[in-house]
A and B are shown apart, each in its own frame.
Chain A
Amino acid sequence: MRYICFYFQVHQPIRLRTYRFFDIGINHNYYDDYQNQYILRRVADKCYLPMNQLLFELIQEFGQRFKVSFSITGTALEQFERYAPEVIESFKLLAETGSVEFLAETYSHSLASVISKDEFYSQINLHQDKLKSLIGVKPSTAFRNTELIYSDQIGEYVADLGYKVMLAEGAKHILGWKSPHFLYYNVINPELKLLLKDYQLSDDIAFRFSNRQWDQWPLTAEKYVDWLNAIDSKHEVVNLFMDYETFGEHQWKETGIFDFMRALPYRIFSHSDYEFATPTELSELLQPVAPLHVPYPTSWADEERDLTAWLGNELQEDAFNTLYSLRDKVSQTDDPDIYRDWLYLQTSDHFYYMCTKWFSDGDVHKYFNPYGSPYDAYINYMNILSDFIIRIDKKIEEKTSFQELKHTTSDTKTQKTEKSTITSKKKKTTHDVQITSDGDNIKFTKEQIDKLAEEFTPREIAILFKQLSDNTVKSIKNKLNKDLKIKVEKELAKTMRPRKETINKILNKFNDLIK
Chain B
Amino acid sequence: MRVLMFGWEFPPHISGGLGTACYGLTKALLRHGVDVIFVVPKAFGDEDNEIKILNASDFEINLEEETSIELWKRLKYIQVASKIIPYISPEAYTEEYERLRKEEIKKNDFFKRKYEFSGSYGPNIMYEVSRYALIASAIAATHDFDVIHAHDWLTYPAGIAAKSTSGKPLIVHVHATEFDRSGENINQDVYNIEREGMLKADKVVTVSNYTRSIVINRYGIEPDKVVTVYNGADAFKFHSRPKVDKPYKEKVVTYIGRITFQKGPEYFVETARKLLKYDDNVRFVMAGSGDMFPRIVKLAARYRIGHKIHFTGFLKGPEVEEVLSYSDVYVMPSVSEPFGISPLEALMSNVPIVISKQSGVSEVLKHAIKVDFWDIDAMANAIYGILHYPAISKMFQKYGKAEVDQLKWDNSAYEVKQLYESLLSEYLILK
Contacts and interface: CB of A to CB of B under 8 A. Distances in A.
Contacts of B274: 22
A346 interface: no
Contacts, number: 65
Nearest to B391: A318
A378 B391 contact: yes
Contacts of B314: none
Given A21-B278, A358-B366, A376-B369, A314 B381 contact: no
B371 to A, nearest CB: 9
A356 B366 contact: yes
B364 to A, nearest CB: 13
A315 B369 contact: no
Contact of A379 (B277, B382, B399): B382
A379 B395 CA distance: 13
Q: Mostly helix, strand, loop or mixed at chain A's interface?
A: helix
Best-buried of B278, B380, B381, B388 by chain A (most CB within 10 Å): B381
Contact of A378 (B278, B384, B389, B398): B389
A390 to B, nearest CB: 13
B394 A375 contact: no
Given A21-B278, A21-B380, A383-B381, A373 B391 contact: no
B385 interface: yes
Interface in B324-382: 366, 368-370, 377-378, 380-382
Contacts of A407: none
B391 A317 contact: yes
A20 B395 CA distance: 21
A469 interface: no
Contact of B381 (A315, A358, A379): A379
B392 A378 contact: yes
Contacts of A375: 368-369, 382, 385, 392, 395
B393 to A, nearest CB: 9
B389 A379 contact: yes
B341 to A, nearest CB: 21
A21 B389 contact: no
Contacts of A379: 369, 381-382, 384-386, 389, 392
A378 B386 CA distance: 10
Contacts of B380: 20-22
A313 interface: yes
Contacts of B277: 22
Contacts of B390: 318
A314 B377 contact: no
Given A378-B389, A382-B385, A372 B398 contact: no
Given A22-B278, A379-B382, A314 B366 contact: no
B391 A315 contact: yes
A132 B274 CA distance: 49
Contacts of A372: 370
Contacts of B388: 21, 382, 386
A383 B385 contact: yes
Given A315-B395, A318-B389, A379-B389, A20 B370 contact: no
A20 B391 contact: no
Nearest to A22: B278
Best-buried of B377, B380, B385 by chain A (most CB within 10 Å): B385
A378 B385 CA distance: 9
A383 B388 CA distance: 10
A372 B390 CA distance: 20
Q: Mostly helix, strand, loop or mixed at chain B's interface?
A: helix
A372 B365 CA distance: 12
Interface residues on A, range: 20 to 34
Contacts of B382: 375-376, 379
B326 to A, nearest CB: 22
B391 A314 contact: yes
Nearest to A318: B391
A445 to B, nearest CB: 52
Contacts of A318: 389-391
Nearest to B394: A314
A270 to B, nearest CB: 51
Contacts of A386: 388
Contacts of A383: 381, 384-385
Contacts of A319: 391
Given A372-B370, A375-B385, A383-B385, A315 B377 contact: no
A318 B389 CA distance: 9
A82 B348 CA distance: 49
A355 to B, nearest CB: 12
B370 A314 contact: no
Contacts of B399: 356
B377 A20 contact: yes
Contacts of A315: 391-392, 395
B210 to A, nearest CB: 15
A56 B382 CA distance: 49
B381 A21 contact: yes
Interface string A7-26: 00000000000001110000
Nearest to B277: A22
Given A22-B278, A378-B389, A314 B395 contact: yes
Contact of B395 (A22, A313, A376, A382): A313
Nearest to B357: A372
Nearest to B397: A314
A382 B389 contact: yes
A22 B376 CA distance: 12
Contacts of A313: 395
B376 to A, nearest CB: 11
Interface in B386-416: 386, 388-392, 394-395, 398-399
A373 B385 contact: no
Interface in A340-391: 356, 358, 372-373, 375-376, 378-379, 382-383, 386
Best-buried of A378, A379, A382 by chain B (most CB within 10 Å): A379
A20 B377 CA distance: 7
Nearest to B387: A21
B394 A21 contact: no
A133 B394 CA distance: 46
A184 B380 CA distance: 53
Interface string B18-43: 00000000000000000000000000
A372 B394 CA distance: 20
B111 to A, nearest CB: 58
Contact of B369 (A20, A314, A358, A373): A373
A24 to B, nearest CB: 8
Nearest to A23: B381
B381 A20 contact: yes
Nearest to B369: A375
Interface in A271-286: none
B276 to A, nearest CB: 12
Nearest to A20: B381
Contacts of B386: 379
A501 B100 CA distance: 103
Contacts of A373: 366, 368-370
A21 to B, nearest CB: 4
Nearest to B278: A22
Contact of B384 (A21, A314, A356, A358): A21
A376 B375 CA distance: 14
A428 to B, nearest CB: 48
A375 B278 CA distance: 21
Contacts of A22: 274, 277-278, 377, 380
A386 B384 CA distance: 12
Contacts of B370: 372-373
A313 B391 CA distance: 9
15 contacts: A20-B380, A22-B278, A315-B395, A318-B390, A356-B399, A372-B370, A375-B368, A375-B369, A375-B382, A376-B369, A376-B382, A378-B389, A379-B369, A382-B389, A383-B385
Given A21-B279, A373-B370, 8 more contacts: A20-B377, A22-B278, A358-B366, A375-B368, A376-B369, A378-B392, A379-B392, A382-B388
Closest 8 CB pairs of A and B: A379-B385, A318-B391, A21-B384, A314-B391, A20-B381, A314-B394, A375-B369, A382-B389
